[in-house]
């Protein structure tokens, strides 16, 4: 269940989470990327502050890294990779930096519909059991008018993308995402002591 009209979610909440939105040079793409996050919160049981507490994945036991730490890291890696590839291979490969940044920011937006908090624990929602975040992410992005090139990145950033032909921009975001995920699979993390918090609802 999403937020009601009485909730105080604002554009400022999204901009506080995502200062990297300012990196998108195209104003229309920046606006649609921002709106997609707003729409996700409208439909999600999660609140903006939850993203700075919940784990970025449920596939790593006792994952110590939050959703926003992981996601912002992925965006920074993707942007720098795109810039380096343009610097050294720009004559051979055309890379749209705005598409990379928008796609990286939106790659996991569908997790707002895949995850929920219950009894102080982050779990997969009923919807999430049927529709993983690449699918719900594309649905959100298309609703908000994002171009197909960005929707493709969302659709192809995870394992589902191994079944399609990825664009250059999608490869960049895919590898940035897995660079910030796969190393966690080789480390065992101890469970943290339970923290008392009023708003742990994912």
The pTM for the full model equals 0.89
| pLDDT above 60: residue 92 | yes
Question: Following CA atoms 167, 51, 141, 151 in sequence, which dihedral angle do they give, to the nearest 10 degrees?
Answer: 10
Mean pLDDT of 145-173: 97
Give the residue from 48, 49, 43, 32 showing the smallest Cα distance to 4. Answer: 43
pLDDT of residue 202: 27
Give the residue from 106, 94, 95 showing the smallest Cα distance to 145. Answer: 106
Strands (E), the chain: 115-118, 121-124
Mean pLDDT of 3-15: 71
Q: Domain spanning 11-186: which CATH class is it, in words?
A: mainly alpha
Count of CB atoms situated within 10 Å of the CB of 182? 9
Lowest mean pLDDT among 79-88, 123-132, 169-178: 123-132
Mean pLDDT of 55-61: 89
| pLDDT above 60: residue 140 | yes
Q: In the chain, what percentage of residues exceed pLDDT 70?
A: 91
| pLDDT above 50: residue 191 | yes
Three-state DSSP at 117 gives strand
Residue with more model confidence, 104 or 60? 104
H/E stretch holding 1 reads none
Q: Where does the pLDDT of residue 54 fall: very low under 50, low under 70, confident under 90, or very high at 90 and above?
A: very high
Mean pLDDT of 120-136: 92
Mean pLDDT of 76-104: 97
Q: Where does the pLDDT of residue 2 fall: very low under 50, low under 70, confident under 90, or very high at 90 and above?
A: low
Backbone angles phi, psi at 193, to 5 degrees: -60, 145
Q: What is the rounded CA–CA span in Å between residue 19 and residue 30? A: 11
pLDDT of residue 197: 37
| pLDDT above 80: residue 80 | yes
Q: Where does the pLDDT of residue 199 fall: very low under 50, low under 70, confident under 90, or very high at 90 and above?
A: very low
Average of per-residue pLDDT values in the chain: 90
| pLDDT above 60: residue 68 | yes
């Amino acid at each position: 269940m999403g937020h009601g009209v009485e909730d105080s979610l604002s554009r400022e909440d999204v901009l506080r989470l995502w200062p990297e939105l300012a990196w998108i040079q195209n104003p229309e793409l920046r606006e649609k990327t921002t709106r997609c996050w707003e729409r996700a919160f409208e439909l999600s049981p999660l609140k903006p502050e939850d993203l700075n507490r919940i784990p970025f994945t449920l596939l790593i036991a006792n994952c110590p890294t939050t959703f926003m730490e992981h996601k912002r890291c992925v965006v920074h890696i993707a942007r720098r990779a795109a810039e380096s590839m343009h610097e050294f291979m720009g004559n051979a490969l055309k890379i749209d930096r705005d598409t990379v940044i928008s796609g990286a920011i939106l790659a996991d937006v569908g997790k707002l519909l895949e995850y929920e908090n219950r009894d102080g624990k982050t779990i997969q929602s009923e919807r999430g059991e049927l529709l993983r975040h690449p699918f719900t992410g594309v649905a959100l992005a298309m609703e908000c008018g994002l171009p197909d090139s960005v929707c493709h990145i969302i659709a192809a950033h995870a394992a589902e993308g191994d079944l399609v032909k990825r664009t250059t921009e999608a490869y960049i975001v895919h590898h940035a995402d897995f660079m910030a995920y796969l190393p966690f699979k080789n480390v065992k993390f101890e469970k943290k002591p339970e923290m008392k918090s009023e708003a742990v609802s994912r």
